[in-house]
Chain A
Amino acid sequence: MAEDSADFVRELIQSQRRLYAFIFSLMRNSKDAEDVFQETNLVLWQKSAEFESGTDFLAWAFRIARFQILAFRKKRTRAREYHDENLCALLADQALQKLGELDARHEALGHCLNELRPEIRTLLARRYEPGASVNNMAQDFNRSPKAISEMLRRARIILMECIERRLALEGR
């Protein structure tokens, strides 16, 4: 039993980033995604006895996450008003197909961040400070929110291009 629990916890830990990305991609709202993410974790915990070691944990976790998203949308009015189950299904399928490349992307991002100019890295880092928002960054940097948003947008484009380039070089 203890070994099963350890396996389960390990799977749960290793799935976190991908699980959150999955939920966020379907919800398109970080606050809602946070709530569903937390609830999904709790449900996964509660259903841990149903999980069989050696089976595809992520596929199982994604399935439970989709139920949680649906349940969330039913009980919350602040969820995005526009929801298309077809889109959800399309994204979920495609997300499952992409699972294999996520770790490589994550790793490539690490290299690409190092290639950014230090001030851009600082800007991105600020974005992830507690309570950070484009508005308060704008105050800190004495720029308009639009200007900050634009700088962040460009930084993300550079990173996306860099990741693709690295993956292409690695033949992925």
Chain B
Amino acid sequence: MEKYDPPEEFQRLLSALADDTLSDEQDRRLAEILLSDANARSYYLNFISMLTSLHWKYVEAAAPQDAVQSAPQGNEFSGSARRSWMRSALGGVAAAAVLLACAYLLLGWSTPVTIPDARQPVASISRIEKVMLANGAPAFATGDRIYAGRLQFASGEIQLQFSNGAILSASGPAELDIESEYSVLLNSGRVRVHAPPSAIGFSVRTEASRYVDLGTDFGVAVNDDQSSEVHVFDGMVLARPTGSEQVVPFMKQEAVRIECERGGMFSIAADATLFPRQWNFAETAVSTSRHAAQEPLPAGARVVYIGRWDTDRGVHLHMISEVLAQLPESRRPRLFNAGNSVPLFFDETHLERFVLPLKPTHAVIEFGPHISSKGELYDAPPKFEKALDRLLCTLKEKGIEPILRTGFRACETESSKKDYCEAYYRVIRTLAGKYGLRLMDVAAHFSALPDKGESLLLENHMEPTFEGSREIAKVELAALGYPELTIPQQFTFNPLPGIIREWRCRIRPTAEPLSAEEVAQIQPDAAWLTLQLPQADDAILQRSIVKWHSYVHRARAQGYAFAPNYDPKKSVEAVGYVDSEGEGDAYINTGGSLRAVWLNGIKILDDRKTFAWHPGRDRISVRLKPGRNTILVEAMSNYFLSVTPDCDWDSNAQKSE
């Protein structure tokens, strides 16, 4: 066939069709074109085929790889569905694929999908309301881990989130045996199950029947006479009476009662009101973070962020602080960046020097891709667990509530480290559950993205892109208790408070430290360059459509000085001036590749070991003299320096200019 160039009008009609915005009039016009032109029909069918493939591909990619175990070759449903039509599609048959994959459920119908590991929790409590044990004692708490075994309670409502993403709500009195993350035996009571694609194959057994979910929403009840009922609210459920060969699918808004002994099936009316309350599916589906909804941080919270490169760059912190700025100041937590200033497993010295002076109430420990990268691989997960446990205890002893974050790189990108990486994340989740900590499960969130978040990482795979930072910020905001706040698409970066607007600088032919003699003789002259801050973007960056995606743009806009040194064997010396009306206390905030600072000829900082880059990585308390104060800086290339009166240098203080 000759190449067919679809006319503009036809293209637009197809686009409207793909966007679900095709009007009846447009539909009629589209039909006319299709009826009159065989080439257009051919193109149209190819287009629809592509649209469907796109759905399938993105939906497949969104499913956790281990959601379906040992799926058969050529199975189009090894993935999952997230849109409603896909859900129904999967409801019809993908589950059958799962059932085939699992070999026995459909035809053999007796073997559980997974064999539970008694040492691993299979679910956690994501919501709990007035649950009392049979003996009247209060039971469980949000975040508690649930292991395979019996769950029995007299009253109240409980919601479990299984590690495969299934959510089960139960209202008391109820007795259920959690058999695995894919199987529950309901002895008495009522449960409602929402199984996202990753949990297809989740089954609820009763004495009378077994119900297998096919990516759906349904309720199961066990009546006093041991008959059971299934009510399907969305998707499809397969039912098989105990001891029977008969397998019957039930669709949306259908319900059936199955007798215990004879296996008789009787159609009844589906009734959602008979089952525990419905949770927010959308929230659960979009955010795969496996942690409970959190209360907002308490008033007066001071949160210090400890992490590595991405924390240090602080892009997601900037986003979070922009969003939190919407809150009244009294309820707005203050965020402090200590990224890369201390090792993740810092000791008492680090704690004293970098963390405690910030007087934090909370500390976010951000694990990133470095968790499994060269030089930072803790040689065995048990050792990692021990070290992390110790760190958490230290923080708690100091009255600081730890918050844990998993890394943003999908483990499988580094296959040799995959096992460790996943084991580390499991440790983080387990400890968060053990101590009831807030958990920012960025790893789970990224894993659920269509490409596992690969497109949200920079080439070095160690830092997120700007969009990647948005995703991280989204997860973190939810864990901090502000899931309702949305992150804007556009950002403006302004000069941070106290920057010195003009610097004189020159490139030194060596990277050796400045000697005292050199410092004494420094006197900028006409040969020195002048840097005016904030520096404008260079010509190439100005061409960029979305400038704030560039860290150079962001840093320049915030008041970093970019001196033109690109040779690691050379360095930069720069002089700036601060005029003070009288003698007074102040803080000098540093960042970038700055290595040493002199105030009025006296060295006040010499730190050549730090890898931290963020503004305020060092805060030096100084006393300014009346009149002109001279500040000399030695740096490798770019640097940040500001002088502020406030003893805090947090997200609020950084907006105060």
Give chain A's interface residues, CB within 8 Å of chain B. 2, 5-6, 9-10, 12-14, 16-18, 20-21, 24-25, 28-31, 33-35, 37-38, 41-42, 45, 80-82, 84, 86-87, 90-91, 94-95, 98, 102, 105-106, 109-110, 113, 118-119, 121-122, 124-125, 128-134, 140-142, 149, 152-153, 156-157, 159-160, 163-164
Contact = CB atoms under 8 A, between A and B. Distances in A.
7 contacts: A13-B96, A17-B52, A24-B52, A35-B88, A142-B489, A156-B14, A156-B47
A86 B36 CA distance: 11
B91 A38 contact: yes
B34 A87 contact: yes
Contacts of B130: none
A38 B21 CA distance: 22
A57 B465 CA distance: 46
- Interface residues of B toward A: which range? 35 or more
Nearest to A153: B15
Contact of A34 (B21, B38, B88, B465): B88
* Candidate in A2, A13, A91, A109 with the most chain B CB atoms within 10 angstroms: A13
Contacts of B96: 9, 12-13
Given A130-B282, A131-B282, A159-B50, A10 B100 contact: yes
Contact of A20 (B38, B50, B52): B52
A13 B75 contact: yes
A30 B16 CA distance: 12
Contact of B85 (A2, A14, A30, A164): A30
Interface in B91-139: 91-94, 96-97, 99-100, 106-107
A105 B34 contact: no
Contacts of A113: 57
Given A13-B97, A119-B455, A133-B19, 9 more contacts: A29-B22, A82-B28, A91-B41, A113-B57, A121-B451, A122-B455, A142-B489, A153-B15, A153-B18
A124 B48 contact: no
A14 B74 CA distance: 7
B495 to A, nearest CB: 24
- Chain A binding surface, main DSSP class: helix
A163 to B, nearest CB: 7
User: Does more than half of chain B's interface fall in helix, strand or loop, or is it mixed?
Assistant: helix
B53 to A, nearest CB: 5
A132 B91 CA distance: 20
A87 B449 CA distance: 38
A128 B59 contact: yes
Contacts of A10: 72, 100
B55 interface: yes
B377 interface: no
B11 A157 contact: yes
Contacts of A110: 57
Contacts of B17: 28
Contacts of A142: 488-490
B20 interface: yes
Nearest to B487: A140
A13 B58 contact: no
A6 B97 CA distance: 10
